[in-house]
Structure formats: structure tokens, C-alpha cells
């Protein structure tokens, strides 16, 4: 549920909801105590006696699949799938465990903090201002009431308090910081040679070898399971278009939000900014004697941006300026010059050129905006109701897609190829929808599936028209891919053999003909595998150290000649920045350690069938 909010909201509030502690989830290997007697209808895990429902874990897994499918470019490998599922469950266990500790330690979030966080969330704003109807509509699309959302937010903000308290409790001594900086900035003098698999690959692969590989790896070359789908969809805009605008409601909405349609007074001024009061008084005397304000501003103002325009600041509201300047400007008459006015920037001379009075748009002027807001608000409620009613109807025996389309005014369509792990057509790739499409009831029993929310403004129900099981692709269709794979594998083996041969020659005393260079730990011009190997080697004791390094594209051979620790000192500003980075890392390490200790102390029982 919370992940769905994150996907539908943009801004810092999404991270509060997920919980700041999510940065420090620990991969534990085995889950802990496994209760083999847990039934399918029970919980997914127990944490210190409190349960995590199966539905919570399975929904979290559906949401995690979206990122995993993208990362793997399709179906998730079985070994990685199990690890990802374990991480999902461990994350939920960690949250539950930390929430218990947060409560016991007395961390609390006030109602005002909740209100401030919600109103500052950009996803709940229109033109930079909080809009309750927008907030309600967005929450409705992910199936949350305002009360449920506030409860989730309260818990997540409390997690953030704990994270901040732990992180700020750490410190790094000057000696420790100096040592860390020296290690991070260390330079090493090296030579290295790379052997690329492509350069060592054979020119061709014979058909018999390719055919043998195909026969031995048939599972790699299966077609993707797919279906042909019919679907019905309901969009929020469809619902909004059908909303009947009630004049009295519209006027009530205007009255409740009249301040939103108010435009504050603006004033256009010029100013001259100088460093000291004496200079300001001298300039004021010249102005009193008939001096041209724009010319004096251009010649004397240290505000270079406005000075280029004769000191012109354009039209601006009171809130644009610091208090002393604003108080002076908004107490002047057009044509008047005042000063010097002291602010934290210096001394100002101010000349008021024009005033644009504030005004409030009339009801008629704001009508189109009001109607749009009214339709959004009304449509959000109706859209949520339609989702609930669709859910009830879909679960009734014998319901058909055509009947649902007629009853709920759904737009209909078809997707000819909807693939497992890829989705397809107008429905895209959504893990929750895929779960429904390939479920037993929809795939094998012919039932209508859904409704599923695709984004915040779209609901769909689906019916499978045709199922296409995975089949072996013909050899001719995949032969080019197999040839490419075999060339790479053989090239990789040859490149690594060449690296081993060079290493043997260097160790026997043959001189390297590679160029000598100094590299740092994060030098982007050097392959990561080479850097990692170079900085893992011990300091050379008068003799070069040689080592072979496997790389993703082949292999390398490195020779470490010397270590340079005599580096120029950092400037005070650069040193301060590094100290802040080091302290932040230390704080994160403390948080990880805290979570690890709490996890060790927790009593956890898990259901081994949680993802079945």
C-alpha cells in the first residue's frame, strides 16, 4: 500500500511514508525462526508477538517486481527472485520491529507536524498551494482515506526522528578524519594492460557447436508466455466530464477559498545599494540636488544585477524583500525617495515608481478554475465508489466483461500480445495487473480480473481471450544470438589466458611495456576492476607487485610500483566539506549497527510459504 503511494506521489513526503530507516535494511540470509506449521491463511511473519499479514507482504512483493522486471529486462531469474522476496519480507520485519522501539523510546509526532508535512507536499498542491481536494483525490486512487494516510505518515515521521537522533550522536576525531582523508586521496603509481574478449574472440563458430549449445540450453530460448486480452477501462477524466456542476456548491467553494484568488499589491522600485552610511548620505544629497537616480545606481550600486538596469527591481510583492526594505517601500508614495535603509546587505536608497493595487478575482473570473476543482473533487469520490462497486461485481459468478462495460460506461479495447514480465499495448507493464492476468481464475477459468489501478486516474478490468504457453524458438531464429554468446565466451577465456601468460612473464622478470601512471581510488578513466585490485594490494617493498584481474569484458594485468601519500593539504573549505561527508557516513554506519542489533534481539517467526 505504501509503495503505491510512493509511485503516485512526487516529492519528499513519499520518502517519509516509506520510512527513512529503509536506507538501512539488512540482508539477513535465513529469516530466523521458521514455523513450518503456518497455514496459507495465516500471517507472513510475527515480530515480537505482532503479526505481518500475508496480504501486506504479497502486495509489497508485487510492487517490488516492477523495479526488478525493469532491472533484469524481463523475467526475474529464480535465484534472484528468492533473494528479492527475502529482502521484501525482511524490510517489513525491520519496519515493524523499529516501530515498536520508536514507541517504547517515546518518539512522538504532533498533529501540527503532520499538518505541515501534508501541506508542504508538492503532489498535494496547485500552483504551489495546498489543495485538500487534490490530496483527497490522489489518496483515493491508491485506496487510502485521509485518516489512514495520516496514521502512516505519523509512523514514518517518527522513524525519521529516530534516524536523526542516532545519526547526530556520532562524531569523528581530527586524527580519524585525517587518516580517512589520506586513505581516500591516496595515489598509486601503476602500469596495467587490458585484454578484451572481443579482440580474442574467434572469427566464426561452426554450426555443430552452435547446435550443441542450443540443445544443451534449450530453456534459454523459449518464447515468453503471453495472452491476448480484452479490457475495459474507466478514467478519472471520464467521471469528471459527467459531473453536474451545482451553482450553490460552486459559490460555497469560492467563499471557502477566496484568499486563493487574491492577488497582493505589488510595487515597482529602484534602489542603490552601498556598503556604508556615509556613501549613502552623499548619494542622497546628489539626488536631492537633482541627480538622476538611474545613472547614480548604474555608477555606484553594488547590486550588479539591478545596477545594469538603473537600479530597477521591477514589480514585486512585500514578501520579496527583507523586512526593513519592505517596510520602507510599502510605506512610500509614488515618486518619493527614501534612505538610507539598513539591511544585512548594506545601505539602500529607494525610489518608488509605481503601485499595482492588490485585488481579488470575482467569482465569474475564477469560475473556470472553480469548476475544474469542483469536478476533480466530485470525480475523486465517484471514481473511488466505482472501484468498490466494480470489485463487488467482478466477484459475482457469471459476470462478463461486456456487462461490466455497459453497467459502468467502460471504454473497451484489446491487447493482442500481453507478455509475462513485459506487459503490452495500452496496458503497459504493471506487476499487479500481470499477477491478475496470469492468475488461475483469469487465465484458466475464464473469469474477469480486476479492477486494477493503472496510475492514479485509471482503472481496468481484463479477460483473457487466448493463452500462449512458452515454446522453444526455432534454432534458425536464435542461431545468431548463440554465435554471439559463444564468441564472447571463447574470447573471454582466451583473454584471461593471455593475461595469465603475461603475469607469468612479469613474475619471471620480463619488463612491462605498459605506460606508467598515477591513479586515485575513483579515477573514472580506469576500469573499476583495475582500481579495486590496485588499491587492495599491499605497499610494494622495493619490488613491483604484479596481479591478474578478471573484468567483465576480459582481463587485465596490473603492476603496482609505488604508493604516494605525500599529498598537498586541503583548503579549509574543502576540508570542512570532507569532514561533513565523513561524519554523515559515520552516522549512517551507526544507524545500520543499531538496526542490526535490534534485529538480533527481536523474536521473529516467519511463514516459509509467504510468497506461494
* Domain contains 178: no
**CATH code: domain of residue 133:** 1.10.4030.10
Question: Same domain for 278 and 235?
Answer: no
Question: Same domain for 16 and 53?
Answer: yes
Question: Same domain for 46 and 128?
Answer: yes
Bond into 91 cis (ω within 30): no
Decide: pTM greater than 0.75: no
Helix 572-601 crosses helix 174-185 at what angle (to 10 degrees)? 100
Q: What pLDDT shows up at residue 8?
A: 44
Q: What pLDDT shows up at residue 588?
A: 81
- Residue numbers of the domain that contains 314: 265-357
Question: Same domain for 15 and 131?
Answer: yes
Question: Same domain for 397 and 486?
Answer: no
Question: Same domain for 64 and 126?
Answer: yes
* Domain contains 308: yes
Q: How far is CA 362 from CA 32, 128, 262, 366, 415, in A?
A: 65, 21, 9, 6, 48
pLDDT digits (tens, 9 = 90+) for 195-249: 999 999 999 999 999 999 999 998 889 998 999 999 999 988 888 877 888 888 8
Question: Same domain for 76 and 32?
Answer: yes
Q: CB neighbours of 248 closer than 8 A, spacing ≥ 6?
A: none
Question: Same domain for 283 and 402?
Answer: no
Residues of the chain with pLDDT under 50: 1-32, 34-41
**Average pLDDT over the chain, rounded to an integer:** 84
Bond into 340 cis (ω within 30): yes
Question: Same domain for 26 and 147?
Answer: yes
Residues 269 and 352 sit within 8 Å (Cβ to Cβ)? yes
**CATH code: domain of residue 300:** 3.10.50.40
**322: its cell numbers:** 527583507
* Domain contains 76: yes
Question: Same domain for 322 and 461?
Answer: no
Best CA proximity match to 313, nearest among 265, 267, 264: 267
The span from the CA of 481 to the CA of 486, in Å, is 9
Beta bridge pairs of residue 419: 226, 423
Question: Same domain for 214 and 232?
Answer: no
* Domain contains 581: no
* Domain contains 573: no
Q: What pLDDT shows up at residue 216?
A: 94
* Domain contains 365: no
* Domain contains 509: yes
Q: How many domains does one find in the chain? A: 4
* Domain contains 486: yes
The span from the CA of 272 to the CA of 283, in Å, is 9
Question: Same domain for 501 and 441?
Answer: no
Amino acid at each position: 500500500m505504501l509503495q503505491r503511494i510512493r509511485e503516485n506521489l512526487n516529492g519528499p513526503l513519499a520518502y517519509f511514508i516509506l520510512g527513512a530507516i529503509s536506507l538501512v535494511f539488512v540482508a539477513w540470509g535465513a529469516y530466523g525462526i521458521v514455523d513450518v506449521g503456518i497455514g496459507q491463511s495465516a500471517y507472513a511473519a510475527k515480530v515480537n508477538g505482532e503479526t505481518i499479514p500475508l496480504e501486506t507482504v504479497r502486495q509489497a512483493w508485487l510492487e517490488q517486481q516492477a523495479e526488478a522486471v525493469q532491472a533484469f529486462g524481463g523475467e526475474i531469474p529464480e535465484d534472484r527472485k528468492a533473494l528479492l522476496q527475502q529482502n521484501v519480507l525482511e524490510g517489513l520485519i525491520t519496519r515493524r520491529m523499529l516501530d515498536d522501539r520508536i514507541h517504547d523510546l517515546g518518539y512522538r509526532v504532533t498533529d501540527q507536524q503532520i499538518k505541515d508535512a501534508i501541506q508542504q507536499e508538492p503532489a498535494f498542491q496547485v500552483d504551489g498551494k495546498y489543495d485538500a481536494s487534490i490530496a483527497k483525490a490522489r489518496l483515493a486512487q491508491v485506496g487510502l482515506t485521509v485518516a489512514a494516510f495520516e496514521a502512516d505518515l505519523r509512523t514514518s515521521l517518527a522513524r525519521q526522528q529516530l534516524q536523526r537522533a542516532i545519526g547526530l550522536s556520532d562524531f569523528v576525531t581530527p586524527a580519524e578524519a585525517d587518516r580517512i582523508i589520506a586513505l581516500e586521496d591516496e595515489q598509486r603509481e601503476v602500469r596495467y594492460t587490458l585484454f578484451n574478449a572481443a579482440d580474442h574472440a574467434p572469427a566464426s563458430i561452426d554450426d555443430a557447436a552452435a547446435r550443441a549449445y542450443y540443445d544443451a540450453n534449450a530453456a534459454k530460448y523459449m518464447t515468453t508466455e503471453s495472452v491476448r486480452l480484452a479490457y475495459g477501462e474507466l478514467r478519472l477524466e471520464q467521471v469528471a466530464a459527467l459531473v453536474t456542476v451545482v451553482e450553490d456548491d460552486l459559490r460555497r467553494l469560492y467563499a471557502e477559498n477566496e484568499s486563493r484568488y487574491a492577488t497582493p499589491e505589488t510595487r515597482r522600485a529602484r534602489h542603490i545599494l552601498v556598503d556604508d552610511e556615509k556613501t549613502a548620505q552623499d548619494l542622497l544629497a546628489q539626488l536631492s540636488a537633482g541627480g538622476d537616480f538611474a545613472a547614480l545606481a548604474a555608477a555606484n550600486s553594488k547590486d550588479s544585477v539591478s545596477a545594469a538596469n538603473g537600479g530597477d527591481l521591477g514589480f514585486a510583492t512585500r514578501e520579496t524583500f527583507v523586512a526593513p526594505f519592505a517596510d520602507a517601500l510599502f510605506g512610500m508614495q509614488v515618486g518619493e525617495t527614501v534612505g538610507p535603509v539598513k539591511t544585512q546587505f548594506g545601505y539602500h536608497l529607494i525610489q518608488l515608481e509605481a503601485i499595482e493595487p492588490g485585488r481579488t478575482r470575482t467569482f465569474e473570473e475564477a469560475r473556470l478554475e472553480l469548476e475544474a476543482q469542483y469536478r476533480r473533487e466530485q470525480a475523486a469520490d465517484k471514481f473511488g465508489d466505482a472501484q468498490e462497486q466494480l470489485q463487488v461485481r467482478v466477484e459475482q459468478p457469471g459476470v462478463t466483461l461486456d456487462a461490466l462495460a455497459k453497467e459502468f460506461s467502460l471504454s473497451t479495447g484489446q491487447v493482442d500480445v500481453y507478455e509475462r514480465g513485459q506487459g503490452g499495448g495500452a496496458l503497459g507493464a504493471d506487476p499487479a495487473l500481470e499477477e491478475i492476468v496470469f492468475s488461475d481464475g483469469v487465465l484458466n477459468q475464464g473469469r474477469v480480473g480486476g479492477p486494477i489501478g493503472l496510475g492514479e486516474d485509471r482503472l481496468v478490468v481484463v479477460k483473457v481471450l487466448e493463452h500462449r504457453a512458452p515454446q522453444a524458438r526455432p534454432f534458425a531464429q536464435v542461431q545468431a544470438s548463440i554465435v554471439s554468446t559463444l564468441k564472447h565466451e571463447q574470447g573471454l577465456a582466451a583473454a584471461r589466458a593471455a593475461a595469465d601468460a603475461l603475469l607469468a612473464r612479469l613474475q619471471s622478470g620480463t619488463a612491462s611495456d605498459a605506460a606508467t601512471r598515477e591513479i586515485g581510488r575513483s579515477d573514472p578513466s580506469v576500469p573499476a576492476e583495475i582500481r579495486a585490485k590496485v588499491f587492495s594490494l599491499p605497499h610494494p617493498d622495493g619490488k613491483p607487485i604484479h596481479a591478474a584481474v578478471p573484468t567483465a569484458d576480459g582481463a587485465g594485468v596490473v603492476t603496482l610500483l609505488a604508493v604516494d601519500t605525500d599529498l598537498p593539504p586541503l583548503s579549509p573549505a574543502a576540508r570542512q566539506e570532507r569532514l561533513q561527508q565523513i561524519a554523515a557516513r559515520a552516522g549512517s554506519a551507526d544507524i545500520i549497527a543499531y538496526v542490526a542489533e535490534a534485529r538480533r534481539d527481536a523474536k521473529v517467526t516467519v511463514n516459509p510459504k509467504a510468497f506461494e
